[in-house]
Each structure stands twice: as C-alpha cells, then as structure tokens.
C-alpha cells in the first residue's frame, strides 16, 4: 500500500509535481549511514522499469545504465550494444584516417558533467589526415554531426572514423593555432604499414647514429625495427653506429608483444614486463631471450606526453635495465590490460582486468614514465622531423649513457 507524502507544491507555470514515498523506503537517518547496496539498487531499478509513467524499453535502459557504469570506471573500459557492435564492424572496412586521437574525459568521473574532448595526437605522413592539414594538438569537435562532447569511449570514436576506402567523413575541427571551428572533409584510405616505422642516419660531429621512429605497435613492427637496424649498420660503414635513438613521440601503443620483441633486441636476460591483476597477483611475466641481443650500442628513447601504453612499457623496460636513457616529457600513463567479453545478446563488454608493471615493479598506469632528461618538446606534424632541442638532448644522453656491456 502506498502512502502519500507531503505535496511539494512546486509550480513552474506548466504544471504541478506530486511526490509519493513507497513503503520500502528507509529513513533519512538510515540513508546517511550506509552505501547503496546491491539489493537496494535492484529494487530501485525494478521500480524504474515497472512504475515509470510511460512504458520503458527495458533493454535500452539496461544498456544505457551499463554504458555509464562501465565508462565511469576508467577511460579504457566500455560497453557496446549489439547494434553498435554490428555498426562498428560493418564500418570497419579498411578505410583509415591515418591519425591517432585521444578522447579526454573528466577525471573518469561518471557523475561529472564536463564534456569530453577529442585531441589529435599523431598524424601519419601522406595520410588522409595529413592531406587536409590536421596536426597534433588539433581538437575534433564533431564527426559526421556527432558531437564528441557526448561520446563515452574511444571505441565509439573509432567507429565514427572508420569506413570504406574512399568514404568521406565530415569533421568540425578547432586548430591548435586557430580557435575558430573549421569544417573539413576527410576521405578515408588504406594506411600503408610501412609508415609505422621510419629510419635514417643522423650524422653529428663525425659520428653516425640510428634514428628510428616507431609511430604505433602493430603486427610486424618489431621485425621492421630489426631490419631497420641491419640496414642502418650497413649504411654506417666500417665506423659503425655510435648510438641508437628510438623515437616514440606520439606513439599511442598497440600490440604489447611487438614492444616486448623490440626490448628483447637490446636485453638478453631478466623480466621485460609484468602483468598484475586484482590484489597485485602476478598474471604473466615476459622475459628476455638469451642470444642475439645488442648490449653494446648506446641507446636513448625519446618520448612526449602522448607516448602511451606499449611505448611506455618499452621505455620503462629499457630504463629499468639500465639499457637506455629516456629523454623528453613524462609519458601519458596508460598501462592497463582489457578483457573483451562477448555477451549472449551480441553486445560487447571491454573491461580493465589488470595493470602492466615495469621490471622494477613500477606501475605505469596513472603515473607515466618519468624521463632521465626532461626536455619540453614542441608539437610537430612530422615524426621524422626531430626538433633540434631533442637532437641535442639525445646526443647528451648517448654520451652520458651507462657503459655498455662491451665497455665494462
């Protein structure tokens, strides 16, 4: 039996709001003493589904609730409905914008009303994004009319930016150097994997150094880096390489196995990366393989605030083993493992289940990798165009690097 509460008497010119109190309510004093329990949550949810003034689409309400619940945990966990999953799969037909973007959310707070914003972090050479002048630091305001302020996950962003080669995506963009919004048409194309790794010889003071740019970690990148080193050693001639610069600026991460494979090129023994789950339990350890590792050539890593995930694991591993100095800015701080769980109705739950740790058990997530030499790096549209300030810092880092195995 329901009992009527006091009429709240709020008249706003259009009507009257009546409040009723159900019999299962608890007193205000009791409410202040305890957190909401699972049973109370279920009761409240059932009440919404059963008693809202209009019939409620139960599936939609539950999906919306789960979306906000999961996305409020961290920025890498998300929930896609079956329809969204089918749409994203249908759109993923090989077309790419040729850039990486990061959806910033406010403090991972599900109750925050601050809007999300989408930042361009890397633009690949000769890509569709590069051809329309997009550059790191630009903000995307809308994609095909979808306001990014209301997007909940990176997965939704990727779905909007995917499609067939030749398909056009309409963007509203705020340039880093111009606050007025601009309308741009982005034509998707297939991304050439060769642009993920770029290398050349950097010659200074009679010495030759390998400069290897790694823009993202995808299948085969480790092998590309290995081949690049062979080619650069051959090009350096009899004098050989005086040092190696691994350039991870703007690298958003990707396949951790590829980052581990690159670390293994320079480290011959010990833990390379460690994964810990709930309660700190070790779930997995990747270790170096004996033989074939280059432990003699001096090595530095350059990173910026956009270097994330697998790139941070590579930098921290080389740093912990004393194999390389890290130069630049503190990295982004993304070091989590997600499990992708298909639901019976076709929906998809992506949930953070573990964190990555460096060999010395440093947690990457939320902290990033602190460089040995701090250098404020200017935003540049070209990864190969290493700023002179970074060149000088890299050369200082190579000169002051710990003695190699061969020199000890």
Between strands 348-357 and 78-80, the pairing is antiparallel
Residues facing 185 on adjacent strands: 170
Residue 114: per-residue pLDDT: 60
Q: What confidence category does residue 226 fall into, taking pLDDT thresholds of 50, 70 and 90?
A: very high
Among 98-107, 148-157, 293-302, the range with the most confident prediction by mean pLDDT is: 293-302
Which residues have a Cβ under 8 Å from the Cβ of 148 and sit 6 or more positions away?
Answer: 103, 116, 117, 118, 140, 141, 142, 157
Higher pLDDT, 108 or 354: 354
Least confident of 32-36, 71-75, 204-208, 296-300: 32-36
pLDDT digit string (tens) for 371-407? 999 998 876 655 456 788 888 888 888 887 654 444 4
- Average of per-residue pLDDT across 63-86: 90
Residue 394: per-residue pLDDT: 87
> In angstroms, how far is the first alpha carbon of the chain from the final one?
85
Average pLDDT, the chain: 85
Which residues have a Cβ under 8 Å from the Cβ of 321 and sit 6 or more positions away?
Answer: 267, 270, 359
Residue 404: per-residue pLDDT: 46
| Residue range(s) occupied by CATH 3.90.226.10 in the chain | 193-407
| Residue range(s) occupied by CATH 2.30.42.10 in the chain | 92-187
Q: Is the dihedral of CA 364, 366, 368, 370 positive or negative?
A: negative
The rounded percent of the chain whose pLDDT value lies above 70 is: 85
Token reading at 123: 């633009």
Distance (Å, whole) CA 218 – CA 216: 6
Residue 109: per-residue pLDDT: 45
pLDDT digit string (tens) for 263-290? 999 999 999 999 999 999 999 999 999 8
Distance (Å, whole) CA 42 – CA 357: 37
CATH code of 92-187, in short, is 2.30.42.10
Distance (Å, whole) CA 169 – CA 148: 14
Secondary structure element (H or E) that encloses residue 89, with its range = helix 82-91
Q: What confidence category does residue 71 fall into, taking pLDDT thresholds of 50, 70 and 90?
A: confident
DSSP labels for 150-171?
Answer: G---HHHHHHHT-B-TT-EEEE
Q: Tell the residue number behind the tokens 């939320």, with chain if given.
A: 366
Residue 275: per-residue pLDDT: 96
Token reading at 104: 């910033």
Residue 290: per-residue pLDDT: 82
Distance (Å, whole) CA 317 – CA 369: 10
Token reading at 259: 């980052």
Query: Long-range contacts: 218-221, Cβ < 8 Å, 24+?
Result: 218/193, 218/254, 218/255, 218/258, 219/255, 219/258, 220/193, 220/258, 221/196, 221/197, 221/254, 221/255, 221/258, 221/262
pTM metric for this prediction = 0.83
CB-CB contact of 265 with 272 (8 Å): no
Q: Tell the residue number behind the tokens 């689409």, with chain if given.
A: 57
Homologous superfamily assigned to 193-407: 2-enoyl-CoA Hydratase; Chain A, domain 1 (3.90.226.10)
**In this structure, how many other beta carbons lie within 10 angstroms of the beta carbon of residue 393?**
22
Higher pLDDT, 2 or 126: 126
pLDDT digit string (tens) for 106-155? 654 444 456 788 999 888 888 999 999 998 889 999 999 999 998 888 88
Residue 347: per-residue pLDDT: 93
Query: Long-range contacts: 343-348, Cβ < 8 Å, 24+?
Result: 343/82, 345/59, 345/82, 346/82, 346/85, 346/86, 347/63, 347/79, 347/80, 347/81, 347/82, 347/85, 348/79, 348/80, 348/85
Distance (Å, whole) CA 338 – CA 74: 11
Is 50 exceeded by the pLDDT of residue 8? no
Least confident of 63-72, 84-93, 388-397: 84-93
Distance (Å, whole) CA 250 – CA 262: 18
Token reading at 177: 């150097």
Q: What are phi and psi of 45, to 5 degrees?
A: -65, -45
């Amino acid at each position: 039996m329901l009992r009527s509460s006091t009429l709240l008497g709020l008249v706003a010119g259009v009507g009257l709001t009546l409040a009723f109190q159900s019999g299962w309510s608890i007193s205000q004093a009791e409410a202040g003493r305890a957190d909401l329990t699972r049973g109370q949550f279920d009761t409240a949810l059932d009440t919404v589904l059963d008693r809202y003034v209009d019939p409620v689409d139960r599936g939609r309400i539950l999906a919306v609730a789960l979306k906000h619940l999961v996305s409020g945990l961290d920025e890498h966990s998300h929930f896609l409905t079956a329809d969204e999953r089918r749409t994203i799969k249908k759109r993923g037909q090989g077309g790419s914008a040729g850039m990486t973007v990061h959806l910033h959310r406010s403090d991972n707070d599900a109750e925050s009303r601050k809007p999300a914003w989408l930042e361009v972090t890397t633009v690949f050479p000769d890509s569709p994004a590069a051809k329309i002048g997009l550059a790191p630091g630009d903000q995307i305001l809308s994609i095909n009319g979808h306001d990014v302020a209301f997007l909940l996950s990176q997965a939704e962003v990727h779905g909007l930016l995917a499609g067939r080669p030749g398909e056009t995506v309409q963007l509203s963009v705020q340039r880093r150097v111009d606050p007025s919004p601009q309308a741009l048409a982005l034509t998707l194309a297939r991304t050439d994997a060769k642009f993920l790794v770029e290398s050349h010889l950097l010659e200074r003071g009679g010495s030759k150094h390998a400069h290897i740019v790694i823009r993202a970690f995808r299948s085969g990148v480790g092998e590309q880096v290995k081949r690049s080193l062979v080619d650069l050693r051959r090009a350096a001639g009899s004098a050989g390489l005086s040092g190696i610069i691994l350039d991870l600026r703007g690298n958003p991460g990707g396949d951790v196995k590829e980052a581990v494979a690159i670390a293994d090129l320079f480290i011959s023994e010990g833990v390379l990366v460690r994964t810990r789950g709930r309660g700190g339990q070790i779930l997995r350890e990747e270790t170096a393989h004996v033989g074939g590792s280059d432990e003699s050539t001096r090595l530095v890593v350059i990173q910026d605030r956009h270097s994330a995930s697998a790139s941070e694991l590579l930098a921290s591993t080389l740093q912990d083993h004393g194999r390389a100095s890290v130069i630049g800015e503190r990295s982004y701080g993304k070091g989590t493992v997600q499990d992708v769980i298909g639901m019976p109705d076709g929906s998809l739950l992506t949930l953070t289940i573990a964190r990555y740790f460096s060999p010395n058990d440093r947690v990457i997530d939320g902290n990033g990798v602190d460089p040995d030499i701090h250098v404020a790096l200017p935003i540049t549209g070209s990864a190969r165009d290493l700023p002179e300030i970074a060149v000088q810092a890299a050369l200082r880092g190579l000169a002051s690097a710990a003695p190699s195995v061969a020199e000890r």
